[in-house]
A and B are shown apart, each in its own frame.
Chain A
Amino acid sequence: MATVEAPLVDPPRVAGARLRRGRAVRRLLRSPLAVTGLVVLCVAVLAALLAPLLAPYGPSDAHFDARFDPPGSPGYVLGTDSLGRDIFSRILFGLRASLLVGVLSVLLALVVGVPLGLIAGYFSKLDGVISRLTDLVLAFPFLILAVGLAAIRGASLSNAALAIGIAQVPGIIRVTRSETLRLKSLDYVAAAVAEGASDLWVLARHIFPNATSVLIVQATVAIPAAILGEAVLSFLGLGIQPPSPSLGTMLSEAQQAISRAPWTAVIPGLAIMVVTLAFNLFGDGLRDALDPRASRR
């Protein structure tokens, strides 16, 4: 789905206690799906990092004598696009850009959203204001924001990440807030407060560390959503700056020649699917592993 806001994970069910973390990792490693996701992710990240070494050509090297070569052509494993650029090389570099947009935007959302969520959950007086703010962002379509940003600042990787990051802030706030609410009511936090610990201390020492599990899970859901978001922005011509590729821009460029050279659209589409699927598999496994119910059964 072309949504940029990540689906919310179910916070109260993810037990945050660090004690259980070791067991969770073991449990995670026992799930074949999650391990598959993790392996694919590692391969994807490695491929993206090593793109300059692995790619047989530069990502924007045009070979006008080899336009639209189908996959399997000599010299071009995955074929070439409309300008005769090697699709394999572009996928590697595109992966890099897409992962970067995904990670950057989620980092941004975390940096902005987590403190706001903590505040909203912990200080009930500020809850209303922050909730109205999140409502405000959610109330008008994200795309207006993205289009506006791109119009003002031009298309670039950082702007795409910025727009997607902003759209993800409300989700992060909500998750952090409800987790904070839950943790605040726990006995040991109440005890710390009763002993006269400062609010900042309680937040930093007791609440935030215990909320990280939920946030990690939320991030594993948010990153693939951001990668899809980048593809949507590129589809609307608001993606990263050419000629550097992202998986999304490759897809959007392929549209024109889709009937003539379907592979130019099929390959980047599959690449997006595989990467986001890997993230989702891993995220799903992670959530199950952190879920106390899994051990209960």
Chain B
Amino acid sequence: MGRYLLRRVAQSMVTLVLATMVVFAGVRALPGDPARALAGEENDPARIAAVRAKYGLDDAVWLQYWHYLTNSLTGDFGTSVRTNIPVAEMLKSALPVTIELSLLSLSVAALIGVLTGVLAAVRRGHPAEWLSNAFALLGLSVPNFWLGLMAILYLSVALAIFPASGHVPFFEDPVANLHHMVLPALVLGTGLAAVIMRQTRSSMLDALGTDYIRTARAKGLAERTVIGVHALRNSLIVVVTIVGLQLGALISGAVVTERIFGLPGFGKLTVDSVFQRDYPVIQGVVLVTASAYILINLLVDLLYSLIDPRIRVQGEAA
């Protein structure tokens, strides 16, 4: 176990370094650079040259990468070319928003997904299965930005139930914060709920067919106990896995959701910084998302073995 963990960590570090390199070279291959993007319609060659010089954009790429790497290791992510705000500060203000959004939509998704998934598995051939299925497939089939626009159009503007967009930090005003988060979390959560529902149903079906459950039933345990305790617990493993694997998707989804609802989160920061060629910000963003992805995958592996000790950790969660 210890050796395995070490190996996984080493592998993760390699992936991380590779990811930063790819992004570092990749963004520099894009047309235009932060100095030009910053100048916008006011094209002044002397000034563009000065900005390039300040951020070392004229240095060789490997040298720039070296500076980035060494500075990152000391916790210095540089400052945004566009706003001069330290990247660390931008990440610090954007991360909680996206984490909150992700957790909320995950909770929404897990709640709906597990519930409908169990229902669909237990009530096979029953209208409940159909309904659960239809719901899940619908969730998978709706473009979530469209759902977002519709929600704003009908729930915010016409009915004024929820604010149309914006964000209030949680610790400033928790109630207002949650009020602003309801729509985005629902919108982002629906698709994920569908994924979780399908997996829950499928693994529930599996679990219900195992000897283990048959034994439990044979011992005369109440059906509710059988499903709730025995079958469901095994199914949760799958849910945890999915949640880990869907993180990338969640962040991609968050980009659009954050854009529509005006949430100053990570997804929005990612896309905006790429559009602006704000190299330091892009690099910071990728470092964090890549680390998070790798860390979560690692955690999923470990959780996996904790939830079900029978499963030998093999390096792949799926």
Contacts and interface: CB of A to CB of B under 8 A. Distances in A.
Asked if the two chains touch in their complex, CB atoms less than 8 Å apart, one says yes
Interface of A: 1-5, 7-8, 10, 13, 33, 128, 131-132, 135-136, 138-144, 147-148, 151-152, 174, 178, 224, 228, 231-232, 235-236, 248, 251, 255, 258-259, 262, 265-266, 269, 272-274, 276-277, 280-281, 284, 293, 296-297
A180 B69 CA distance: 39
B289 interface: yes
B11 interface: yes
Nearest to A32: B130
Contacts of A224: 140-141
Contacts of B293: 138-140
Contacts of B142: 269, 273
B137 A277 contact: yes
Nearest to A275: B141
A231 B282 contact: no
Contacts of A174: 316, 318
Interface string B199-230: 10011011001000000000000000000000
A273 B134 CA distance: 12
B255 interface: yes
Q: Which 3 A-B pairs have the closest CB atoms?
A: A1-B191, A3-B249, A276-B141
A136 B255 CA distance: 20
Nearest to B154: A262
Contacts of B205: 293
Nearest to A151: B30
Interface of B: 11, 14-16, 18-19, 22-23, 26-27, 29-32, 124, 130, 133, 137-146, 149-150, 153, 157, 188, 190-192, 194-195, 198-199, 202-203, 205-206, 209, 242, 245-246, 248-253, 255-257, 259, 267, 270-271, 274-275, 282, 286, 289-290, 293-294, 297, 315-316, 318
What is the interface of chain B mostly: helix, strand, loop, or mixed? helix
Contact of A148 (B27, B153, B252): B27
Contact of B294 (A135, A248, A266): A135
A236 B11 CA distance: 34
A128 B7 CA distance: 11
Nearest to B134: A33
Contact of A236 (B139, B191, B271): B271
A37 B297 CA distance: 35
A76 B19 CA distance: 50
Contact of B124 (A1, A136, A262, A297): A297
Given A141-B248, A148-B27, A235 B138 contact: no
Contacts of A2: 143-145, 191, 252-253, 255-257
Contact of B15 (A132, A152, A178): A132
Nearest to B105: A1
Contacts of B250: 3
Nearest to B11: A132
Given A139-B248, A141-B251, A148-B29, 6 more contacts: A7-B242, A132-B14, A141-B289, A144-B26, A152-B31, A266-B150
Contacts of B297: 135
A136 B248 CA distance: 11
B295 to A, nearest CB: 11
A272 B143 contact: yes
A8 B149 contact: no
Nearest to A3: B249
Contacts of A297: 124
B19 A139 contact: yes
A282 B31 CA distance: 42
Contacts of A281: 137
Contacts of A259: 153, 157
A265 B146 contact: yes
Contact of B275 (A147, A262, A277, A293): A147
A116 to B, nearest CB: 15
> Of residues B19, B138, B145, B153, which shows the largest number of chain A Cβ atoms within 10 Å of its Cβ?
B145
A269 B150 contact: yes
Contacts of B271: 143, 147, 236
8 contacts: A1-B190, A139-B15, A143-B270, A174-B318, A259-B157, A272-B146, A276-B140, A280-B141
A10 B200 CA distance: 11
Contacts of B286: 140, 144
A293 B209 contact: yes
B253 A3 contact: yes
B146 A269 contact: yes
A132 B289 CA distance: 16
B15 A232 contact: no
A273 B253 CA distance: 17
